[in-house]
Amino acid sequence: MKQEALLYFTDTWLTLLGLVLFFSFFIIMLIRVYSLKKEYFEMMSKLPFKELEDER
Partner 1 sequence: MNQNYEYFSYDDDIVKKFLLATMIWAGAAFLFGLLAALQLAYWPLNLNSEYLTFGRLRPLHTNAAIFAFAGNAIFAGIYYSTQRLLKARLFSDLLGRIHFWGWQLIIVAAAITLPLGYSQSKEYAELEWPIDIAITLVWVVFAINFFGTIKKRREKHMYVAIWFYIATIITVAVLHIVNSIELPVTFLKSYPVYAGIQDALVQWWYGHNAVAFFLTTPFLGLMYYFMPKIADRPVYSYRLSIIHFWSLVFIYIWAGPHHLLYTALPDWAQTLGMIFSLMLWAPSWGGMINGLLTLRGAWHLLRTDPLVKFMVAAITFYGMATFEGPLLSIKSVSAVGHYTDWIIGHVHSGALGWNGFLSFAMIYYLVPKLWSTKLYSLKLATTHFWLGLVGILLYYISMVSAGITQGLMWHAVNENGKLVYPDFVETVTRIVPLYWVRALGGVLYLAGFILMAYNIWKTLKTAPKDQKEPTYAALKPNFESSSGETTHKKLEGMGLVFSVLSFIAIAVGSIVEIIPTLSLHKYVEPARVTDPYSALELAGRDIYIREGCYTCHSQMIRKLSAEVLRYGPASTIEESMWDRPFQWGSKRTGPDLARSGGKYPNLWHYRHMMDPRSTTPGSIMPNYPWLYTKKTDYLVLRKKLSVMQSLGVPYTDEQLAQADLDAQKQAMSIVEDLKQNGVEDPKLEEKEIVALIAYLQAMGKKERAE
Partner 2 sequence: MSDDKKDIKKLEEHFDGIIEHDHPLPNWWVATFVITVVFSIFYYGYYELLDGPTLDQELSVKMAEIEQQQKDSVGKAFDNLDQDVLKQEFIDKGKVVFAEKCFMCHGQQGQGLIGPNLTDNFWIHGNTSQNILHVIQKGVPEKGMVPWEAVLSAEEQIATVAFIKSLKGTNPPTPKAAEGTEYKD
The contact mask relative to partner 1 for 27-56 (x = CB under 8 A, - = no) is --xx--xx-x----xxxxxxxxxxxxxxxx
2 binds, among partner 1, partner 2, none (CB under 5 to 8 A by kind): partner 2
Measured between alpha carbons, how far is 56 from 53 in angstroms, rounded to an integer? 9
17 CB neighbour count, 10 Å cutoff: 11
Rounded to the nearest angstrom, the gap between the alpha carbon of residue 43 and the centroid of all alpha carbons in its chain is 21
11 binds, among partner 2, partner 1, none (CB under 5 to 8 A by kind): partner 1
Q: What is the DSSP letter of 36?
A: S
Nearest-approach distance from CB 20 to partner 1, in angstroms? 10
